Structure 1
């Protein structure tokens, strides 16, 4: 989940180095499919123009670490940059009738 400006920059550069919070923490924060809505609600509330990118974690090998975060849940953290080629799908963030984020 990223801003439209971050998505445009990723496309222009063909690599994503991370959002400001990623750069501060030293890894790129991702969410598993079942975590996306909660992440959107907690970290992106009230923001518009967001983009959801589905990343092929298997293409990143050992750069992906599943680490405990919110409530002890394991989240995928990427300790590398993300080449555009790992994006399996993307779309503007939309929600279904129940408020859940619709995944690409």
Structure 2
């Protein structure tokens, strides 16, 4: 398990979870975030910042109504593992529910006219 750092400083190892705005709002109402993959696979899929666009275009192409959850790993209560995905590299996975205070930024994530995603300028 990763060390916790409750300072609130920007975490240089920020990981990203792509989800629907609706699922994120449900998580906020419940006070904890879950997604289907936690039940079916045992973890919440995340990406490193440099993997976000490729992941989005592979799994969410043309889908609207999405948000990016920027997550500070040092604030996540559940265990995070870097899992190897054959032919795609290592991806961070959260093995449990996501505590909301670990989400340091939420950014609207919409595809362009061709249905493809580009890296949001909000992450500068």
With normalisation by structure 2, the TM-score equals 0.73
Which structure: greater strand fraction? 2
Going from structure 1 to structure 2, the CA distance change for 1:70 and 1:5 (only over 3 Å counts) comes to farther
How do residues 33-52 of structure 1 correspond to structure 2 at under 5 angstroms? 33-52=49-68
How many equivalent pairs are there? 102
Going from structure 1 to structure 2, the CA distance change for 1:45 and 1:32 (only over 3 Å counts) comes to same
Alignment equivalent of 2:90, drawn from 56, 74, 88: 74
Which structure: greater helix fraction? 1
Going from structure 1 to structure 2, the CA distance change for 1:62 and 1:80 (only over 3 Å counts) comes to closer
With normalisation by structure 1, the TM-score equals 0.86
Which moved further from structure 2: 22-31 or 55-64?
55-64
Task: State yes or no: 1:84 paired with 2:100.
Answer: yes
Q: Which residue of 2 aligns with 1:101?
A: 119
Q: Distance in 1 between matches of 2:63 and 2:111?
A: 13
Q: Gaps (5+ residues) in structure 2?
A: 1-17
- Work out which of the two has the higher radius of gyration on C-alpha atoms and give 1 or 2: 2
Q: 3-state SS of the aligned residue for 1:71?
A: coil
Q: Gaps (5+ residues) in structure 1?
A: none
Dislocated runs of 4+, deviation >6 Å:
none
Q: Which residue of 1 aligns with 2:19?
A: 2
Q: 3-state SS of the aligned residue for 2:87?
A: helix
